[in-house]
Every structure is written in C-alpha cells, then in structure tokens.
Amino acid sequence: MHFQQPRPKNDDERILPLINVVFLLLIFFMLAGKLSSSDPFTIAPPRSASEAFVDAHDLVIALGAQGQLAFDGALLDEASLKQAVADRIKDETSLRIWLKADSQSDATQLITVMELLEAAGVDRLKLLTVPAPMEGTAG
C-alpha cells in the first residue's frame, strides 16, 4: 500500500504538532510541580513511612547537613532565628511551622532547634519528610 501524506503548505502548519506537545508538557509541569522559594543550601529530607500530608507551608525553617539554619531564605544563627520566629508569630498565631531538616544532620541539633523554637513561642512543630521507596525497610 502506498500512502501519500499531504504536504503542509507553510512552516507554521508543519510545526503545529510540536506546539501541541510543548503545550501539553507546559501544562503538565505547571500542574504537577509546586513553585516554591529555594533554600540557601541543599537539603535531602529524611525518608519516613508517615502518611500525613502537607497542605500548606506557612513557615519553613531549614536545617542543613552541616548545621546551617535558614529562615525566609536567609542564613541565620540560633539567636537571630529565635528572634525572627518570635517576631513573626507574634502577629499571626495561627501559623504552622515546618522544620525541613537534612537527613544527615545531627539529631541533637534538631532537638536544640526544636527547643529553641518552643522557647520562641512555637506551639506545634512538624518535621517534613518524603515517603520511603516501596522496597524500603519501613513498616
């Protein structure tokens, strides 16, 4: 059998399928991803079997593998972090606070930050994790 493709007359018609695919990709990436400000350092979050979903990030405090602390995209030391968080939650008491710690950071320091935030008036603190891979040892 012999099919003859009708040849498009101009360039625009020839690239229409490309545009369709690119539009689909664009819509996919817009819907699947979540735009968020990036942290000043890389964080590999710990894996856990927790099922609790995260709906909104109100305040995120980042703790890096080398013990760096960041809040609102700025690197801070412990005292200024406490001050900054206390200032922020003074006005809005309903804010939820998330701690984004690197999986290789020191657990002792995590607890130090936890206590520091409690002293700053944080009521409920949660640690952000990612789900463990299916073949993991969880459960």
Residues from 43 through 72 that contact another protein (CB under 8 A): 45-54
Rounded to whole angstroms, the Cα distance separating 9 from 11 reads 7
**Min dist. Cβ of residue 72 to another protein (A):** 17
| Nearest approach, Cβ of residue 113 and another protein (Å) | 10
Q: Rounded CA gap, 96 and 59, in Å?
A: 6
Residue 51 Cβ vs another protein, minimum distance, rounded to whole Å: 7
- Calculate the CA 44 to chain-centre distance: 10
- Strands ordered across the beta sheet of 69-71: 74-76, 69-71, 59-63, 97-101
According to DSSP, the β-strands at 59-63 and 47-48 are unpaired
Which token pair is 52?
Answer: 């609790």
Residue 37 DSSP one-character state = P
Task: Kindly state whether residue 74 participates in binding another protein, applying the rule CB under 8 A.
Answer: no
Residue number, 82 or 102, with CB nearest to another protein: 102
Binding-site member from 3, 17, 18, 77 for another protein (CB under 8 A): 18
**x-or-dash pattern for another protein, window 87-106, by CB under 8 A?**
-----------xx-xxxxxx
CB of 121 to another protein, least distance (A): 12
Structure tokens at 90: 């003074």
75's tokens = 């690197």
| Interface ranges with another protein (CB under 8 A) | 10-13, 15-16, 18-19, 22-23, 25-26, 29-30, 32-36, 45-54, 98-99, 101-108, 110-112, 114-115, 118, 124-131, 137-139
